A and B are shown apart, each in its own frame.
Chain A
């Protein structure tokens, strides 16, 4: 393990969230840190609590207990400062569909206070990566899912955030764009930024991530450095590891009589 001090971008400490008073906890005691220059994957099956965790970090959802801080700013105490340091893409490609792509990106540039003199240059760079072409001048309501995903990514990057959060980022993208996005993610992290993304696609996670946080039924079951493991053991099979950790967890749960329902009721 490197002994060099790294900048902590995200600090999640004992995060708990439930959707209604009567409901079970959708996520319970999730804790992890993310550092500059790192890509962290949030992995789990459908309904495990990945999106809920991300939405709590983004400030979209309130949470019962625990702490979340972005670049040292607590999301509850200093929400505006915390949010100014991140860009995010939701799992359902949510965007103002009655705006054109360029209007939406301009809105984001204004909201995140991007200096006027760098806007065009950044937009051009993003256009080269995401290849939206002339469609950027059309109403977003006429876009396909993949195009919406692209415009969401472009808008979330216009202010070059320290933290980039992506919820199921590869959904709806064509193979060429998928590769471009993967390459860009690596490049973006290497330039000192931090990326957190959720997925249940093991191949994507294994290919891109430095670290993986596994979540199951709202519980964090492990936080592993996948790159280190791969370096130590060239035959390391991530799929096998993931499936084994799931089985171990369920055996533990039945041994402890833990009959917790899935009840995540994710938004």
Chain B
């Protein structure tokens, strides 16, 4: 797609070569700073970084996935994904987006790690299946897991795009026949930034790349390896319907008055209270809306095991899915408590019979 020059251009050189004016360049820097939630002075720092730093080589691999991460990424409004791909990074390999194909394209995966050891970013969309020696995902004639390991070996850092690479997602849901695993089970010696979601928000994806580029370091990660600035809070914490939650005003069914008036979707199974993501603040499609705003509960797509924590339309998760028994905690607990009550009643009856029919002189003499 993009030839690998001996001395990589800076972003600014490339942008000027493509006809971008200085004014447009500075506007782009300001917008990027605003998108990252930085102070206005950081626009200068971004501009300085882009004028002086060589473009960051990025290799984007695809394993078991549905390409929804790429679909989301190319819709980023701010910064525009075209700006990220064409101006900020040097996207040297992405089999979905690049025009090159065949052996020449695959050769890039050997070339970049040798040419820029420790300097390139590996972005991974999807995950490797380990069962049958990785035969459930063959790309370019090799199991994906082998390619993933070899390209990761020299990487500066690894970005795990989406729920697949971060947690496993649908292919790792029970019973996980291909033994699909998140990439941190395979890559253990590199810093991994998890950007979960199915897909992640476009602006979160481009924001993570912009951050790495601008500050030449990885963003602060939380205890689960996600960028804290985007995954630090639950959707629930910033949901515009939160006042209805606190008031106890819940939608009871999809066509009731509460649904029409935009009440809280908690009882309809909204997973906002258990989901760490930026949907309620950044929103989707350039800030147009997000699921809850559209009247549907969050399905928790950026959470680990979200396929196994269903159903989507009930507050309490089913448990025991592995046994073919699906019941909520209340059904299981309530049944056990009812059994305990029945046991107590039976025991009490037996005790009463025993107590009042005992022979004089036997047992406790009072």
Mutual binders A and B: no
